[in-house]
Amino acid sequence: MPACARGWRCAGTTCEVDPAALWILTVEAGRISTADSTGAAWDPFGGAPDPYVCLTINSTRLCTMALSDTFTPRWNSRFPATTAAALRAGVPSEFADQDTADPDDPICAPGSISFTTADFTMASGGFGCMPINAWTYTLVAQ
């Protein structure tokens, strides 16, 4: 019988993700194109975007802080611990530019992340409209 790491359980001669194990998802950093999808600047007068990421986990929507005027945000924002089963079920995501006067502009509308065994194994990854307009994350078992 193998010795399985935290967040994993023994399944005969192999380890598998334990659906009941708690995992911390951290939104790390992002990369954003210098222009929006129309080719215009993100903000008036040529300003850089004010990016943020929102995730909906177990019907609860939580967001990183919006960081001002950056094409390379670094949030390092930890989301509350959640089960592997909830992460596997799908996590709707939003990646947007916060605007004060207008509605927020989507930076990328990638949809829902369904974490796979490979994602838990690698413990990190990226999501978005690759190769730019994307953000990175890490996963750590509790």
Q: What is the pLDDT of residues 62-101, one digit of tens each?
A: 999 999 999 999 999 999 999 999 999 999 999 999 988 7
Domain annotation covers residue 14? no
Q: Please give the C-alpha separations between residue 1 and each of 101, 111, 120, 133, in angstroms, as whole numbers.
A: 60, 39, 21, 43
In a 3-state reduction of DSSP, which class is residue 69?
A: coil
CATH number at residue 35: 2.60.40.150
Domain annotation covers residue 15? no
Whether the model pTM is above 0.95: no
Q: Which domain holds residue 75?
A: 22-141
Q: Which of 13, 6, 4 lies closest to 84, judged by CA?
A: 6
Domain annotation covers residue 88? yes
Domain annotation covers residue 6? no
Domain annotation covers residue 11? no
The number of folded domains in the chain is 1
Domain annotation covers residue 27? yes
